[in-house]
Amino acid sequence: MSRFRMYPTPVQVEQMLLHCAHARYVWNLAVEQHAYWRPGRGSAPGFAEQCRQLTEARCENEWLAAGNADVQQQALKDFAKARNARFTSGFGEPTWRSKHVHEGFRVIGTDRVPEFEPDGRARLNPKTGKQVMARSVVVQRLNRRWAQVKVPGCSWVRFRLTRAELPAAKTFRVTFRNGQWHIAFAVVPEPIDVLATGEVIGIDRGVTITAALSDGRKLNCPQLTVRERAQIRKHQRRAARAPKGSEAKAAGHAKVARLKAREANRRKDWCEKTSTMLARSYGLVRFEKLNIKNMTRSAKGTVEQPGRNVRQKAGLNRGILAQGWGLLRRRTEQKAPGRVEDVPAPYTSLRCSACGWIEKKSRKSQADFVCVSCGFTCNADENAGINVAAGQGGIPRPPANSRCRRGDNGHRPFERP
């Protein structure tokens, strides 16, 4: 997926907002159809039937007929795809889309270009023997930093080109959020070639240090500055004191959203650059296996059994999510398929990377590790990264016919066989 910032004119903005409204309206109609469908009332309408109903609705509704038919049909196709994947995607049934929240539409390419095999030969249709033609998005380069794409009803719309080559895609999606337009081309990235060394690297993820590599390097995800955080608190206070429904309250929330979007953009940019570096520099990348969803679960509990330290846990959850652990792991696997592994997290921080001795007292603090057995001294995160690189993780098992003494804390430290 290649994502770029768009800069449409005021007239183009008005037309694209209309496309967003039409796509959202058609999507919500499809959701309503399936919400009232129950077993025993016949089969729910599929994509073909919904397209036929869309044609009838365009004949009766002038507002809907003024929009682009391809944009509206793509909304139905996205709905059908989301509903077919409701059991495997993890998002469940498709839900309603709201104004100012889900603003976007998808466009399929209009130009037809020939397809080729991986070896460079033209792809032929086995039945007809003719060359296969595929749809492609119409994109033109203006100069080194700018390009333009053809959007239905808007002619050419400029976007900031942040890559050396033009995206070659069959479809793209336009989104509007926090006052910014973005375009995302559906491009399958090619795997990144690795250097000839084939080195194995282990990565320990944390909150203080985002990624501690086994070779001693420490990488931190960029956060908002102190001044930017002060601005967020200022705008939040002004929005809280403004009258309900006033322009001042909406303006305060919009300024906060723009600052938080800036933080998210920095995090995504860092994850992209770091994942590219990992895929290009190392033959095998091993991550500490973490269940981020469970780690960031709320501690508020229920009315009958309220949680404890809820505010502290909420702060920890925000700190974890601000590091981009999941995005870094996912993008690295996409750029280096088959060269990313997960190592169980238990005891990676308590195990000595020099002698293998496991003892809780060896972890003196967040940053210091001093083995109580051999006296090995190292940074705690770097020590954990070395254990991850070696694949030493999970619940340890004592060797057969061994007598392991219990430590002062009740655990049984020993060397892994």
The residue with tokens 């070659």 is: 168
pLDDT tens sequence for the chain (417 residues): 688 899 999 999 999 999 999 999 999 999 988 877 766 666 778 888 889 999 999 999 999 998 888 899 999 999 998 888 877 777 788 888 998 888 999 988 766 555 556 666 666 767 676 665 556 678 889 988 999 998 988 889 999 988 888 887 888 999 998 888 999 988 776 777 766 567 889 999 989 899 999 888 999 999 999 999 999 999 999 999 999 989 999 999 999 999 999 999 999 999 999 999 999 888 899 998 888 888 888 888 887 888 888 889 899 999 999 999 999 999 999 888 888 999 888 888 888 888 888 888 888 888 888 888 888 888 888 888 898 988 877 666 554 444 444 444 444 444 443
Q: What is the pTM of this model?
A: 0.76
Distance (Å, rounded) from C-alpha 193 to C-alpha 207?
A: 30
Q: Give me 374's structure tokens.
A: 């051999």
Long-range contact pairs involving 270-276 (C-beta distance under 8 Å, separation at least 24): 270/221, 270/222, 270/324, 271/221, 271/324, 271/327, 271/328, 271/331, 272/331, 274/211, 274/219, 274/328, 275/328, 275/331, 275/332, 275/334, 275/335, 276/192, 276/335
pLDDT of residue 110: 66
pLDDT of residue 414: 44
Q: Where are the domains of the chain?
A: 2-185, 200-220+255-340, 346-417
Pairing relationship of beta strands 340-344 and 284-289 according to DSSP bridges:
parallel
Distance (Å, rounded) from C-alpha 115 to C-alpha 122?
A: 6
pLDDT of residue 179: 84
Distance (Å, rounded) from C-alpha 317 to C-alpha 295?
A: 7
Distance (Å, rounded) from C-alpha 396 to C-alpha 380?
A: 19
Distance (Å, rounded) from C-alpha 221 to C-alpha 3?
A: 20
Pairing relationship of beta strands 284-289 and 200-205 according to DSSP bridges:
parallel
User: What are the phi and psi torsion angles at 343 (to 5°)?
Assistant: -115, 130
